[in-house]
Structure 1
């Protein structure tokens, strides 16, 4: 254990920030990965898993029929009955390609009121999980449920409400209430075993475990323990022994672990014990190197004993009740021993917490055949588990920021993403993480590569269930980013999934005078194809008064503030779309002309620049030169009408920089 560790896992190719002055947002390229799942795929994968393992509670069929007939179902059942999982699976069945999944959060600051029609888009699938709501919160929500239900009907959406158990429901909402009873515990246990590929046999341990009424999550966790017991067992052991091992793993091991740690007095022994707990299941080579790195991080003195006189890895592992399998991967001899060891060190050696964060950041940058991404993610998750278990979410958030703001390799940035994801997915602290991320995106100076971490977290984690919150966080990142368009592209990709989200973004942009950065958000956000494409209600966004007002304000600012060369490609796309959009094509042209008409002292220049774009668009027509020329004629007629002129005798000049007007 005395080797000098001067070259351990450092990455000389990591990018460096060497600029001067304030750094608002600069997003690197390290997290670019064409194979990385999008937020849609991640959400779909999770829902697909729920559908596989869910044993339908009594009442699920009735809830499905109610949701089909009315668009609304209110689930009422005891805690642990599978209410929330059932709600998510039901909503997945109504994914028809339109709208988005949206978990409503009525008590969070940046969420719309439940009575606001803008909350619901065509085809949306809405989950309102109030299973943990207080009586006061439930009373406030009930007052808005009728308005929300009406909006759901009008937009052909689907809403599932999980109401708090034992609290009242208004008479006019009783029709939508579905009573949920927990499924049989043995069925749940067997379903999870089957998904894990573990054959079931009757066993006394299982009978005793299920004799008590248990939440579905607890039964699922026990089934997973049985799976892991089977993987660690010898070939002569059978199902009954696996279940006994799983049952023992659920026991409180605090005294046992404290006794072991007290017996291991040497630093290298304790370092190895903690390393095995944090990297449980890793190859012995990775365990050995990581234990060395931990000692180095803690500035432990090097071992003086000659190399060949030291204990080998096998002997040292046996001292901590661990061993290496034939394939070289290390496990404790007792199931779930690793979790108890991690908890002991975290709870009883608080001075280790800060160095552990440094050690994890260095460890994830390790390379080699035995350091896959899954191992790095598992290490980060186990550290995050301790922060979250003990209510220290803010410390985990700070750690993720710190990992990203120093010169960081791609593995370190991925670790920061994974740490924030663990926080966001924590039921008790997810709300705090969403708020901290909002503050970072909207108000804080972002150093190093932290901005790209936030972009990925917003697009791939928050957007999966809270698309509105992701929208505004990406909006703030996009308006502040410099030298890249990563946040802008993520924002554009998100609004492409929903007309409602596009409407909300346009409305946000129209609320105040637009900065040049916001104008560069507006232009790709006002894609004319989705604006002129009708939704299930037969209307398009371009036909809505609110959207038209937002678009007119945006285009007016574009025509006044940006050079023609910057907005011309977007105007050309509008003109091409107008050629083939029927009566909505006229609405597109009317909107452009109306925006130019409001340009005050630049009115004539704006009209001339629009006409110049139309003439240029005739050279790249997707529908033929003649049709493009006809669109130019229609635009010219509308410009003339806006100026109070008759049909033009000659075209206006094609310059875009000023001069005479049409």
Structure 2
């Protein structure tokens, strides 16, 4: 039983299956521009939550949970395993539609920090603290820390939903925030999924004995979603001759009845060419017959299997060979097994009973994504990688998906191969059992591993597209390490800036890490600081009670960072950023003096640096927003502050400081 995320990519064109239990959604990681990540993490997270909301059926008690959320900003959600409690928590947060803040998962014991840290909560954040699987000690510590966390949530006008362990205790002072939910009616969840699969209601409202038996077992939410998806596939394979009852009967038996039959079929099909066709059909199930044919031939080449020397016209044609393994092309030319779920049983058999061929299966999969055939689409490539990743996850080898991604990202790497590498690692990161271990491995690689080939690009994409939507703090740390190692192009730094732009809390945290928490900032940290310390973002409250520039902690970070900039790098490098700073001051209204003061404070009493700032202001006057006159006014105001910093009388403020001297480094 599971209440969290799992990942499947069986039907990338739309929702696969999900419900109040496990959320299963498409991993769509097309590369697009190789130098850029995909959609923003905030958009990805919102899209995932939107999909869940479409699939969601309210469990009993959901209305009370909503009222509690709105009244107190905190809900401690309690429910039995398999009741859909984590999905309910996500929906409670998604429904808020906050203009500020982001959705985040808090993970006690990982990198985000203690729950008592006030910096953990940003304005308007929607926080999920999932402790459904927590042990007794972890749950006890969390209850101790909840008061401090709730205080921060209230102060920041955020919202918090805690999923507590089913057998966990809750003290009296926390009971007012508790909401109990119970699983929704199985049949309603099942029908919601069929509606999302666009199956007409007049079909699924009919009686089906197999469905009645399934409902009577009160299965976990994830099993309901899987069952609905099998019904969809049974209907697609036999839309005319069978009815709803038969589709349900086929779906009910599919998961468990084919293992022995597959073993017998493989034992019977001794010829390498037929076994290759069987494997290719299972891995490429639903693909065009041409793709299946090319896939089987590819496996034979990889295994260096001698070709059949019989004349081509004397051999069996593809249709006959497919019939021998229980498959056939449909009217659209796409090949499927006659029996529902048979393809999964075949994949499991080859992986489990031919372990010496697993490395070859890896090679075949990545080469399969690169086959030159008009019928090979992005959807098919994604599905192929997912089916291989399923074997790793099913057999307890989820962490090895990272090493598979590393192998696939080696030079030379085609676009399809990089997509495959990203998709394989994404499947592991989304898995509940391996996500934490893989995030740690990604951190170690970003921080210190020699990144050969295109591995840096793969890590960048999984940070932005997979980790950042739910764990932005962890993604920020990893992107920072990648950005520090960049030379020339700066895709990781660009992604880091984009991530910081999604949340004032993230920008504040990153500025703090780059300055005050770094005893000896490196030249790379200085370069990152100039990009992250954007004056427009610092002066825009973005819905918060006050902008970052008015916070004492941010003030200290900015002064420290600019002091490092002004003393450690050449004026030619920092001048464009200083000009942007001065131009922002032209239109910053009440924040004009604060922006100028921060630069002057960073320069200290160093006359050479103050003179350099003055000359920069003069150079920025012609391009100032509002014209040269406004730029000149900013220069004059800056000069007044420089004079004050140097202890000069007000009358001396009209005299420019001495020309800049050479900065000692």
TM-score of the pair, normalised by structure 2: 0.92
Aligned residues: 626
Question: What's the CA shift for 1:315?
Answer: 0.9
Give 1:539's aligned residue: 546
Inter-CA distance 618–134: structure 2 relative to 1 (3 Å threshold): same
Question: What's the CA shift for 1:318?
Answer: 0.9
Are positions 1:379 and 2:404 aligned together?
no
Are positions 1:350 and 2:351 aligned together?
no
In structure 2, what is the Cα distance between the partners aligned to 1:160 and 1:304? 66
Q: Deviations over 1:436-455 (max 9, x none)?
A: 11111011010011111111
- After TM superposition, the structure 1 stretch with the greater mean CA deviation from structure 2, 93-102 or 474-483, is 93-102
Give 1:493's aligned residue: 498
- After TM superposition, the structure 1 stretch with the greater mean CA deviation from structure 2, 253-262 or 272-281, is 253-262
In structure 1, what is the Cα distance between the partners aligned to 2:362 and 2:420? 11
Give 1:637's aligned residue: 640
SS of alignment partner, residue 128 of structure 2? strand
Contact 1:492 1:525 (8 Å CA) reproduced: yes
Question: What's the CA shift for 1:534?
Answer: 2.6
Give 1:196's aligned residue: 197
Are positions 1:161 and 2:162 aligned together?
yes
In structure 2, what is the Cα distance between the partners aligned to 1:535 and 1:38? 17
Question: What's the CA shift for 1:30?
Answer: 7.3
Quick one: which of 523, 529, 533 aligns to 1:526? 533
Contact 1:564 1:656 (8 Å CA) reproduced: no
Give 1:187's aligned residue: 188
Give 1:173's aligned residue: 174
Q: How does 1:329-368 map to 2 (within 5 A)?
A: 329-368=334-373
Give 1:144's aligned residue: 145
Contact 2:42 2:102 (8 Å CA) reproduced: no
Inter-CA distance 649–478: structure 2 relative to 1 (3 Å threshold): closer
Q: How does 1:593-608 map to 2 (within 5 A)?
A: 593-597=600-604, 603-608=606-611
Are positions 1:553 and 2:563 aligned together?
no
In structure 2, what is the Cα distance between the partners aligned to 1:413 and 1:77? 41
In structure 2, what is the Cα distance between the partners aligned to 1:348 and 1:656? 75
Give 1:413's aligned residue: 418
Are positions 1:625 and 2:632 aligned together?
no
Inter-CA distance 101–308: structure 2 relative to 1 (3 Å threshold): same
Q: How does 1:56-205 map to 2 (within 5 A)?
A: 56-108=58-110, 110-198=111-199, 199=201, 200=204, 201-205=206-210
Provide the alpha-carbon RMSD of the alignment: 1.7
SS of alignment partner, residue 465 of structure 1? coil
Give 1:23's aligned residue: none
In structure 2, what is the Cα distance between the partners aligned to 1:531 and 1:554? 14
Contact 1:396 1:419 (8 Å CA) reproduced: yes
Inter-CA distance 596–98: structure 2 relative to 1 (3 Å threshold): same
Question: What's the CA shift for 1:44?
Answer: 2.2
Contact 2:286 2:334 (8 Å CA) reproduced: yes
In structure 2, what is the Cα distance between the partners aligned to 1:45 and 1:560? 45
In structure 2, what is the Cα distance between the partners aligned to 1:439 and 1:240? 52
Q: Deviations over 1:384-436 (max 9, x none)?
A: 01011111123211010111123101110111110111011111111111111
In structure 1, what is the Cα distance between the partners aligned to 2:181 and 2:59? 6
Q: How does 1:157-306 map to 2 (within 5 A)?
A: 157-198=158-199, 199=201, 200=204, 201-306=206-311
| Structure showing greater relative contact order (alpha-carbon pairs closer than 8 Å, 6 or more residues apart) | 1
In structure 2, what is the Cα distance between the partners aligned to 1:73 and 1:649? 58
Inter-CA distance 462–536: structure 2 relative to 1 (3 Å threshold): same
Give 2:585's aligned residue: 578
SS of alignment partner, residue 433 of structure 1? helix
Are positions 1:652 and 2:660 aligned together?
no
In structure 2, what is the Cα distance between the partners aligned to 1:34 and 1:515? 25
Q: Deviations over 1:208-231 (max 9, x none)?
A: 110112111111111111111100
Flag structure 1 segments of 5+ consecutive residues without an equivalent.
1-28
Contact 1:609 1:654 (8 Å CA) reproduced: no
In structure 1, what is the Cα distance between the partners aligned to 2:660 and 2:358? 62
Question: What's the CA shift for 1:53?
Answer: 1.3
Contact 1:593 1:607 (8 Å CA) reproduced: yes
SS of alignment partner, residue 213 of structure 1? coil
Contact 1:365 1:412 (8 Å CA) reproduced: yes
In structure 1, what is the Cα distance between the partners aligned to 2:475 and 2:521? 21
Give 1:590's aligned residue: 597
Question: What's the CA shift for 1:117?
Answer: 0.7
Question: What's the CA shift for 1:368?
Answer: 2.3
Give 2:476's aligned residue: 471
In structure 1, what is the Cα distance between the partners aligned to 2:258 and 2:659? 81
